[in-house]
Structure formats: C-alpha cells, structure tokens
Structure 1
C-alpha cells in the first residue's frame, strides 16, 4: 500500500470520528432504569462460573452481585489496557509530524480512550460495584509494555484486548438482563472502538512490511504472551474472596468449565483470524493461545 493510500484510510477514520462520536460524560449514560436492581452487570453467560455447580447453587441475587463484581474486573482491565496504550503510542509518536493523518487520528483515539476509561469508571460506580487490585505480574508487564515494547507488538496486544472486549460488549449492549448503564457504555465503546481497531490493524500491517523472519517470530510470541496475561487477568481471586466465596472452589469450577472456555474462544475468534491472515501465528503462539483458552 502506498503512503497516499494509507493516508486516505486515516482521513476516512477521522471523518468517521466527526460523524459518529458520543459524549460519554453525559449523566444520561449512567442513568438507571426501573428494574436495574434485578439486572446483571454483564450477560450472565460471560461469567467464568456460568453453568458450574457453584453457579447453580447460587440464588439469583447472588448471581447478580457476582456478575456486577466480575464486570468491574473486566472493565478495570480495559481501563488499564487503554491507559497503557496511550502512554506507549504517545511516546512512540511524540516527535512525529502532528500534521500527519495517522498522528491526528492518534490524538483523536487518545481523546476517545480517556473518555472510555472515565465512562467505565462511572458505569461501575453507577451499579454499586468497585474495582479490584491487579496482580503484580500484570503491573510489571504494564511497565514493560509502556516503556520497552516496539510498534507492531504494542498494536497487536492492544488489538487483542479491543477485539475480545468488542465481542463481549456486543452481547452486553443488546441484553435486557444487563443493567442500563453497562448497556449504554458497551454500545458507545463498540461504536467508537471499531475505528480504533481499524487503526490498529492498519498500523500492524504497515509495520510488518519488510520485517525480518526473526523479528516477526519474536513479535508473534510476545503478542501471544501479552494476550495471555490479559486473558488471565480477567479472573481475579480478590473478586471472589470479596464475595465470600472459597477461591479453591471457584478455581476448580472455572478450570472445569467448558462453557467458559468456549466463550473465551468465541471472544478471541476475530483476533485469531486476523493474526492468521497476517502471519502472526506460529507453533509457539498457538500453544500459548490454547493455554489461554483463546484457541
């Protein structure tokens, strides 16, 4: 693809941002609806415990409290990823010509990502949930991601999180089982994130042009490892212990839950398909994605 063709893609994305963007700070986004107290934090089928003996032993009110805590964990990871993305990409583009179409879209994307993080924080507040501390390994990886990782790896790991959340939230935003603030936040995120995913895919393709076999292999494995950490971080023992559940029982139920593995594979399908098309799946990466229940 020529430079002019690539510029045209970014200009199209900028025009899309002008036409279809939301003010996620509006109080209307977080306004509850009648019956919200009896609605879940996310579609119940996305709970890692869904369908297990432990899930079946819970009352409906306990399940609602569970999914509201789990969605706080999921969206907390989303915020962590979006903030890390901004730091990494702004550092990489700090000295670039701000008149370039891809850099202008980067500015627009970072503005969106900041508002998405604020939106998620407000949505979790509105349903009476809270965020939980992350595992230290994830925070260490976040430091490496922000300061060391090179372009196609940064975009690849970010795209992994965006694609997985996109599939989940397309379910959440259309389900009457989900509290209204989460449905609205999911809808806004899906619409605006579609531009960000197109941007990330284009950037990955551009960076892969002319790469050596060694660097492509290294990038493939590091993207897989980063995606593995993101997927694993969605399940946080602190969530379940805070609800008074025995972590060993929870872990045993999740580890044996084929439904959970199937849902995670469903969430990862678009991302895995993209990696396959771009030559970013090798034997080692496939092994890692299987260990992450994403393949």
Structure 2
C-alpha cells in the first residue's frame, strides 16, 4: 500500500515530469560539432586507466579512443541495468491499480528509461564507438535480479547504478573536453534521472517500514552484493582487448590505480550516505563496498 505521504511525493514527481522532460529521440542531440573528433567520450579523469603508466604512454588521440570505448561500455551497462529494473518492477506491478500514483509514475519512468536507452545508443554510434559484450556472469546475475529481486533490493541495486552514473555525468556534461553528443545526453539524463532516484529512494523507505531485522539484514547484503557486481562490470577485458591493449598490463595498472579508486568513491558518495541514513550499511555491507572500491 502507498501511504498518503508517499502518494503526495509520487504526484509531485508526475508534475515534475510534465514540466521538465525532453524528447531524447531528437536527432539533433547526436549531431557532432566542430572539434568533436578530438574530444573525449567522457571526462578523462573517469577512465580507470587515467594517470597509470599505460595511459601516460598513449598519444592524445589514443587516449580519446580509450575514453570513447569506455563511455560506450559504461552506458551499455546502464542500459542493461535499467532494462532489468523495468522487467522486475513491471512484473511486480502487473496486477496493481493503474490509477495509483506510484504505478503511474512507474509507467512514466519506463517511458523515460527506454528513451534514454535509445538516446545513449545513438550517442555512442555518433562518436564512432560501439557496445561490447558483457561478461557471462553479469548476464547470469541479470537473470537472477529480474526474477528474484524484491522491493528494496531491486530499487537499491538500481539506485546504486543511477547514483554512480549521476555523479559521473555531472562532470561529463560540464566538460568542454567531452564530445557534444555525450554532453547533451548526460545533461538530459541528469535532469530526468533525478526524478527516478527520488522515486527509488521513496520506494526503498516505504518497503522498509515495519520489516523484520532479518529481512533488513538480508536486503542490506544483497544490495551491497549487487552493487559490487555493477562496479566490477565497468571494467571489461573485451573492450581493452579490442583496443589492442595488453589485458595483463591493463589489469595490473587499474588494480594499482589509487586515482581510479578515489573517483569511484566520489561517485558512490551520495549512495553510501543514503544507505547509512536508512540503516542499510552494516559491517558485512561495508566490507563488500570496500572490496568494490566504493567505500
């Protein structure tokens, strides 16, 4: 059941969607501008290789190609995650009253997410990059997530991805060193995703009302485990192999890159703060987030 306070929040989110939404199908969003061929796919500082010996040996044009491939993979993981959330939530709400404010906002969110996925696919194509195959273990995790994740777990895992990408994309959209289609897509995503994150946070709070200590404990660990999978999935061997980089050297450099760990902790900061406030950060979860370089 949706309480009156939550109902008011969902209605406010629906009103926000009416006032501030974009048509992310607009072909002009993916138009390149003068100088874009020399611009990065994302702010270079977000590359897991940034500042490493292998990065410092690359030419500027090679660094640009690396970040264009990395942003394509990052956005591909984002698409995969959002599609999984839609499947999980639509299944859970399949028989719910469609007049409920939370259900109506779910419909709006799904419409937004599908348009974001289309926008990201077009932006990646426009910068001459492509999506890379995911690790099979990630797809297995996706199957489990779509079919078994409940309430706060489903929203918590996806909120992790949304919060991390939100921090990253606020940098991308404000950097003159990033290709225009990515900057435009990042801006639209940041604006519209702010509603989705509020929706997820409110659903998590609502799901946790009156739950047992055991369920909270299990949910806390599952959210952490799911977040760990997402964080680790952002490093893709196939992508670096396709760029002609030696994976053994790449892995060694990324594993020893304190700058990379610092940036990921920065990206996870708002999410970790939310978990702590809602009582979803026990000792086991903290250990997992440290292993993920998010804490």
Structure 1 residue 294 corresponds to structure 2 residue 273: no
Q: Secondary structure at the match of 2:250?
A: helix
Q: List runs of 5+ in structure 1 lacking aligned partners.
A: none
Runs of 4+ in 1 over 4 A off after TM superposition: none
Separation in 1, partners of 2:239, 2:138: 16
Shift of 1:177: 0.5
Separation in 2, partners of 1:248, 1:5: 53
Q: Secondary structure at the match of 2:229?
A: helix
Separation in 2, partners of 1:6, 1:287: 32
* Cα deviation code 1:6-25 (max 9, x no counterpart): 11110000000000000000
* Cα deviation code 1:145-183 (max 9, x no counterpart): 100111110000010000000000000000000000000
Corresponding residue for residue 103 of structure 1: 103
Corresponding residue for residue 212 of structure 2: 212
Corresponding residue for residue 66 of structure 1: 66
Q: List runs of 5+ in structure 2 lacking aligned partners.
A: none
Separation in 2, partners of 1:268, 1:181: 25
Corresponding residue for residue 183 of structure 1: 183
Corresponding residue for residue 15 of structure 1: 15
Separation in 2, partners of 1:11, 1:235: 38
Q: Secondary structure at the match of 1:91?
A: helix
TM-score norm. by structure 1 comes to 0.99
Separation in 1, partners of 2:243, 2:6: 49
Q: What is the number of residues matched between the two proteins? A: 295
1:198-277 aligned at under 5 Å gives the runs: 198-277=198-277
Shift of 1:3: 1.6
Q: Secondary structure at the match of 1:5?
A: helix
Q: Secondary structure at the match of 2:210?
A: coil
Structure 1 residue 75 corresponds to structure 2 residue 75: yes
Shift of 1:257: 0.3
Q: Secondary structure at the match of 2:54?
A: helix
